[in-house]
Amino acid sequence: MVKSKTGLFALGFFIVASLFVIISFISPYWLVTDGKLKNPKFIKIGLWEVCFNGFEEVHHWYDTVFTGCWWIFEEEYYIIHDVLLPGFFIATQFFFTITMCCVILSMFLSYLYMKKDRDDDKYLTLLVTLGTVLVIGGFSGIISVVTFGARGDGRDWMPNWEHNDLGWAFALGVVGVVLLLPAGILFLVEARVQKYKRLHEMQSREPSSYTMHERKVGYAGGHTDI
């Protein structure tokens, strides 16, 4: 199916954005140690995985030391959930998960977009839905990365905060969610263009249809155009 340049640009933005968002979603490199500390207790953390190196429970209520990389909701971590999962980090996970869901849904919608013809009755609805989902995903992702960027490397979260830096996965997430916005907006622009094209085609057909109707009436009444 031949697509407009606007639609192809939107699709290109979406492909790059979805790739970045997916990598960022599964990667444990949102916050990382800078490597300047000899034995850092904290190594790295993503949305769903954290790596420690001899991290002790800060309240000293339990004689437990955490070492290695684990799923962030691992049962053993329940004693440090207040440290590991502060409010801002839960908000980051929540909003970025919404973004990820929007990306997954948009993959299916973009597949339909490539398959459907412009003359299909549901084509406009598909464009509007796809554009809206991407814009929602973009705004949700922006909330997520702004929240994490403001608090992630603060001194009141992971140990040795002065040696912690925002990682490359966070950077990919930022670029990905920002690219979702132009992708969604371009799909909405394409929907508007296609809508006006259809209205123009309908208006151009109406006079000719009306003229044919008049001629039929005229012939029926014994009149001619001469």
Q: What's at 47, amino acid-wise?
A: L
Averaged confidence pLDDT in the chain: 85
Query: Is pTM beyond 0.85 here?
Result: no
Residue with more model confidence, 135 or 75: 135
Residue with more model confidence, 15 or 121: 15
* Domains of the chain and CATH, by start: 5-210 (1.20.140.150)
Beta pairing class for 49-56 and 164-166: unpaired
Digit-coded pLDDT (tens) for 133-184? 999 999 999 999 999 999 988 888 888 888 899 999 999 999 999 999 999 9
Digit-coded pLDDT (tens) for 82-115? 888 999 999 999 999 999 999 999 999 999 988 8
Count CA atoms closer than 13 A to 107's CA, side-chain side: 12
Q: What is the pLDDT of residue 225?
A: 46
Band of residue 226 on the pLDDT scale cut at 50, 70, 90: very low
**Are the C-beta atoms of residues 165 and 34 closer than 8 Å to each other?**
yes
- Asked whether residue 9 carries a pLDDT value surpassing 70, the answer given is yes
- Would you call 43 exposed, middle or buried from its count of C-beta atoms within 10 A (0-12, 13-18, 19+)? buried
- Asked whether residue 190 carries a pLDDT value surpassing 70, the answer given is yes
Q: What is the pLDDT of residue 38?
A: 83
DSSP conformation class of 57? P
Percentage above 70 pLDDT, the chain: 85
The residues that bridge with 165 in the sheet, in sequence order, are 32
Digit-coded pLDDT (tens) for 43-71? 999 999 999 988 887 776 777 788 889 99
